[in-house]
Chain A
Amino acid sequence: MTKERKMNIREDASWKEMLQGGHIIDAGNAEDFKTGDWRSMRPVWLPDKCKQCLLCWPVCPDMAIPVENGKRKDFDFDHCKGCGICVEVCPFKAIDFVEEE
C-alpha cells in the first residue's frame, strides 16, 4: 500500500538522487516503513465486547488504531509494536493480549 512518492531513495541510491541538504519532500512517508515485525505480543480486538468508547485510539504511540466514521477498526498490524497500552486502557476488556507467533 505504498503511496505515490516524489522521492524514492533506496539503499543503493547514489548521492546524486538525494536532494540538497538531505531534504525529505514526502511529508509523512515514514508510513511506508513497517514496524509490525517488532511485536512480541499482539493485541486482539474483540468487536463483540467493544463499546466504541474510543479511549484506546489516542493512547497508541504508533497511530495503529484506525478510526473511520467515528468507529474504531481492527489494528493496523503493519505499524502496531505490541506495547499493550491500548489493552490496559480498555474499560470493557475488549482487547486481548496474546503472544505473537
Chain B
Amino acid sequence: MAYNLKTLTEKEERITGGHRMCAGCGAPIVVRTVLRALKPEDHAVIGVATGCLEVSTCLYPYTAWKDSFIHSAFENAAATVSGAEAAYRALAKVGKVKGTTKFIAFGGDGGTYDIGFQALSGAMERGHDMVYVCYDNEAYMNTGIQRSSSTPKYADTTTSPAGSEIPGKVQFKKDLTMIMAAHNIPYVAQTAPFRNLKDLYEKAEKALYTPGPAFLNVLAPCPRGWRYNTPQLMEIVRLAIETCVWPLYEVIEGKFILNYKPKNKLPVVEYLKPQGRFRHLFTKENEGLLDEIQKEVDRRWNRLLELCGEA
C-alpha cells in the first residue's frame, strides 16, 4: 500500500504520551513509527534494554506501552525477547495461544553495539522470528553522555572530554549495520526519522513481516547529548543523510540496496556544525581533524556504493 500519512492516522498509537523522555528526544519518534507498522490486529511483545527509553517509559506505576512489555537488563534485551518468542512458538504448536504476536526488542547504542552485542548476535544467529531495533543516539545518554563504540570520532562526551589531552573520542564509530549484515539474516536496514518517516515506517514493516530475524539501526538524535536546540531534530537527521554520514540502505537476503542517494552530497561540516559535541573542532588547529572525518565518511560511502552496485 502506498505510504499515506492520513491513512496511517487511523491506526491506534501503541505508545502514549506521559513518558519521561526529555523534550525533543528522538527515540520516542522512532518507537512510535516502528510500532505503527504493526497490523492493528497483531499483538506485540516488547522488551527494552536499560537506557533512556526503558527507564523513561516504564516508571512504576505507569507504562507508556500498550502492548506486553518486559523490562530487560542492559545487556540482554535480545536474549529476553528471543526467549519469549521461543516460548510463544512452543505454545502455538500445542494450540495454547491465539492470534499473531510479534516480538520486538529495542536497545540504545550502548545496549546494542556494546554490552548487549553478544545477546543480539546470538538471537539473530539462532533465527528467532523477531525484530531488534537499535535507537542509536551515539552515547550512553541515560547515565550522563558516556562514549560508546557508536560515538563518532572526535565527539565530546563525559568519558572522552574534548580538551588539551584529546579532541573528543579518539576512535571511529563502529559500523554495526555492516556487522549485522554479515550475520546473513533475512533483513537488515539502516534508517532514520527522515522527512515524512516513510523510510523508517516501510523498513519497520518489512522487518516485522519478514519471517525470521531482522535488525534495524535507526539514528535517534539526543538533543541533550548532541547539544543542539530541540526544534532542529529533523534538520539534524536530514544533514546526517545528505552528508552521507548516515546512509539509508537495506540488506535483503544478502542483497544491498541503497534507498537514498543525495543529489548534492554535502560536506560533513554541515552536519557537525550545529552540534555542540563537535564545537571544539571548529578552530584553526583542529582543521585537520575535520578533513580526517570527511575522508572516513567518503571511504565508507564509496564502499557502500560498491556493495549496492551504485559505484
Residues of A participating in the B interface, judged by any CB pair closer than 8 Å: 7, 9, 18, 22, 24, 26-35, 38-39, 53-55, 57-64, 67, 70, 76, 78-79, 81-85, 87-89, 97
For residue B71, give the distance in angstroms from its CB to the closest CB of chain A: 8
B24 touches A (CB below 8 Å): yes
Interface of B is mostly: loop
Contact with A along B1-12 (1 / 0, CB 8 A): 000011011100
- Across the A-B interface, give the 5 residue pairs with the lowest CB-CB distance, nearest first: A83-B24, A84-B231, A79-B17, A81-B23, A30-B18
Taking a contact as CB atoms closer than 8 A, the residue among A29, A54, A62, A87 that contacts B6 in the complex is A54
Within 8 A of A (CB), among B182-200: 193, 196-197
Q: Are A30 and B197 in contact (CB under 8 A)?
A: no
Taking a contact as CB atoms closer than 8 A, the residue among B23, B27, B68 that contacts A82 in the complex is B23
Taking a contact as CB atoms closer than 8 A, the residue among A9, A32, A58 that contacts B33 in the complex is A58
In the complex the two chains form, what is the Cα distance from A60 to B18 in whole Å?
Answer: 13
In the complex the two chains form, what is the Cα distance from A40 to B145 in whole Å?
Answer: 23
Within 8 A of A (CB), among B1-44: 5-6, 8-10, 13, 15-29, 32-33, 36
Within 8 A of A (CB), among B54-73: 57-69
**What are 30 A-B contacts defined by CB distance under 8 Å?**
A9-B61, A22-B60, A24-B58, A24-B60, A24-B62, A27-B63, A27-B65, A27-B68, A29-B63, A30-B18, A30-B63, A31-B18, A32-B18, A39-B23, A55-B5, A58-B36, A58-B196, A59-B234, A60-B29, A61-B24, A61-B29, A63-B15, A63-B17, A70-B9, A78-B17, A81-B23, A82-B23, A84-B230, A85-B230, A89-B234
Taking a contact as CB atoms closer than 8 A, the residue among B28, B58, B61, B69 that contacts A62 in the complex is B28
For residue A3, give the distance in angstroms from its CB to the closest CB of chain B: 11
Taking a contact as CB atoms closer than 8 A, the residue among A7, A30, A67, A97 that contacts B57 in the complex is A30
Known contacts A22-B60, A35-B18, A54-B9; A27/B234 CB under 8 A: no
